[in-house]
Structure 1
Amino acid sequence: MPRLPRLVAAATATVALTVLASGPTSAGEPTVTDPRVVAHFDFALGQTPENIALEPDGSANLTLSFARQVANVDKHGAQRIVATLPAVANPNTPIIGAAAAMGIARAHDGTLYVVYATGTSETGIWRIKPGGSAPVQIAELPADGLPNSLALDEKCGVFYVADSVLGTVWRVPQEGGTPTAWATGTELQPLAAPDGFGVGANGIKVHNGAVWVSNTDRQTLLRIPVLPDESAGTIETRATGLTWIDDFAFTGHDDTVLATLIMDSELALVRPDGTHTVVLTGQDGLSNPTSVAVRGETVYVPSASYFAPVKDPNLLLARLNKGKS
């Protein structure tokens, strides 16, 4: 989730009053240990890591939102710029104002896809082919929305996009084309001030026959079944009380989730029963974490540092210890 300049003061005051609805640690559940920051970025240059897609070699592709770039970072912290999205004249992105590179997904052939939010006709999904070719827009999304996160279902050949302002999950063919409003409803909508900050559907993943979505304002994790005809089933609320939830990732085949709590600079373990426990904090190096990815025994957490008083956008790696009952 990008910086919301007009909301920072109110949000900071709210954080001091927030109490997480956590549950006790359960025997046999995953734990997260050995956190270490492997890469730092320059906030002044707009290098704010927003979202992540992993390569087979364990390196991470990160969208650097306000720099409009995609960077590749290996597990030792070496960085290179993969692509830069084109500058946009007079961007007018809802809530954030600026043009921003948001969600990212990787296809098996190495093609990267990025959601670009601009408030103009350039808002949509952009394709970056392997080998350094220039980004190409393949789908246009509503300019009055804030497309935030992106999930690719290659089996069905479709993207799902979570729109934080319009409270919609868009469905787009993988080859590009016209988006369809696949899922809508109160559960995906943002809340108006003073109850919320206008940020609804945020993170998105495809997992176990369903599309999962976080809602930042409503502090929820949602599951939307994909029906046999590929339409959306009834939205299910699977967890509540996840204050400032941004993105999330599954730890394995079951429904256990690691979720970033952006304003509190925390990473939470969310159990299938909906309870959660904080497993990493700002003391471990998190600075407004915006997304998370899991590969085997490694957890990747980018922090954009949008709200932190001391700016330290970074990439943190940790060890995932999968529990045994």
Structure 2
Amino acid sequence: MRRIPRLAAVAAATAALTVLAAGPASAVDPTVTDPHIVAHFDFAAGETPENIALAPDGSAYLTFAYAHKVVRVGRDGSGPTDVATFPTVVDPTAAAVTGIVRAHDGTLYVNYATGTADENGIWRIRPDGSAPQRIVKVPMSGFPNGLALDEKCDTLYAADSSRGRVWSAPVPAGDEEVEATLWATGSALLPTQELPFGANGLKIHDGAVWVSNTAHGTLLRIPIEKDRTAGPIETRATGLDGIDDFAFTGHGNTALAALNTQNKLELVRPDGTHKTVLTRADGLDGPTSVAVRAKTLYVNSAAFFNTVDPDPNLLLARISRNKL
């Protein structure tokens, strides 16, 4: 499979790109203060946090991409405590546990990208502690990455980084598996020859599915039509080199985007302008994902591109809220 070569290609290509200058200041920008690392992880053991979902008590469920597991880390940094480990595949070095979401009843849904027929897709981890089970099949050639759950209609959406598309699937009530359905396609979602990692992070927000595209450095909005089909793809921000996952700061369309290869957290305004709010000096080391709960900001770093002294970690900070 392809995870490591693709990430290396992203790093090599984006290193040559110039960094976009910060956009104009805004009186309503949220502020990010008091960044501090609460937990460090073991890079050699595959403890590379790829994605994050928050529990009601403020603890975080993290996917460890190369350890092929989900862990729980307390808001104070306690842990990590193992939640579930995924089955071993033919080539475990090429598999990755990626996106994660938590339903209100405590059920976790997780993407496992393996390139194999029996494992590639979306998995469910029930709160009772039973073993993870695949519930949505994604084609072997697909790389399910960002993941979101629309609980109003029990629908899962997954970004496919290798094929540049968005899949959807109903949440099965029982233990049966369902096939992923192609929900959105278009050139805006595709990877490029230079950067073979397209659609990446994914969130449901403001009546739409929002997707980041690593290859193009863009943040996209895809309206959800009344019949639940995908509307025209809108480009909402550009110049986000190395963008991975992202999160919204509140009810409006201001977002915080992890620029993996740039070691930056970027604040993206509703008009598409953006500025850097955290850097490597604050503790970022290849940031992969972002979450916001009340006045607390969570940022994972996986240190994928640090060949000298990798420091995968979980960073917390304080964030003000705006109303846009």
Q: TM-score, normalised by structure 1?
A: 0.93
Who is 1:110 aligned against?
106
CA contact (8 A) 2:3 2:96 kept: no
SS at match of 2:123: strand
Aligned-pair CA distance for 1:14: 4.1
- CA RMSD in angstroms comes to 1.7
CA contact (8 A) 1:105 1:112 kept: yes
Residue 224 (structure 1) aligned with residue 222 (structure 2)? yes
Q: Supply the AA of the counterpart residue of 2:97.
A: A
The letter for the 1-side match of 2:65 is S
Which structure 2 segments of 5+ residues have no match?
Answer: none
| 1:66 alignment counterpart | 66
| 2:309 aligned with 1:313 | no
- Counterpart Cα distance in 2 of 1:223 and 1:9: 26
Percent of pairs with identical residues: 61
CA–CA distance in structure 2, aligned partners of residues 104 and 291 of structure 1: 11
Deviation at 1:3, TM superposition (A): 5.8
* Shift of residue 28, structure 1, vs aligned partner: 2.1
Distance 1:231 1:76, change over 3 A: same
Alignment correspondent of 2:290: 292
**Quick one: distance in 2 between partners of 1:129 and 1:118?**
21
In the other structure, the counterpart of 1:270 is 268
CA shift digits 1:62-98 (9 cap, x unpaired): 000100010100111111010100111235xxxxx61
Distance in 1 between the 2:231 and 2:52 partners?
Answer: 27
| 1:233 Cα deviation after fit | 0.3
1:178 is displaced (CA, Å) by 1.5
SS in 1 for 2:289: coil
Say whether the 8 Å CA contact 1:21–1:241 is kept in structure 2: no
Counterpart of 1:199? 197
* Correspondence for 2:83: 82
Superposed counterparts of 1:56-205, under 5 Å? 56-79=56-79, 80-90=81-91, 98-121=94-117, 122-175=119-172, 177-193=178-194, 197-205=195-203
Q: Structure 2 counterpart of 1:89, which letter?
A: V
Q: Could you tell me how far 1:323 is from its partner in structure 2?
A: 4.7
Over 3 Å counting, the alpha-carbon distance change for 1:323 and 1:207 in structure 2 is closer
Aligned twin of 2:257: 259
Secondary structure of the corresponding residue to residue 317 of structure 1: strand
- The answer to whether the 8 A contact 1:63-1:70 is kept is yes
Q: TM-score, normalised by structure 2?
A: 0.94
Q: Does 1:280 align with 2:278?
A: yes
Contact 2:98–2:112, Cα closer than 8 Å, also in 1? yes
Task: State the number of aligned residues.
Answer: 316
- What are structure 1's unaligned runs of at least 5 residues? 92-96
Deviation at 1:4, TM superposition (A): 3.1
**Corresponding residue for residue 250 of structure 1:** 248
Would the aligned equivalents of 1:214 and 1:220 in 2 still touch at CA under 8 Å?
yes
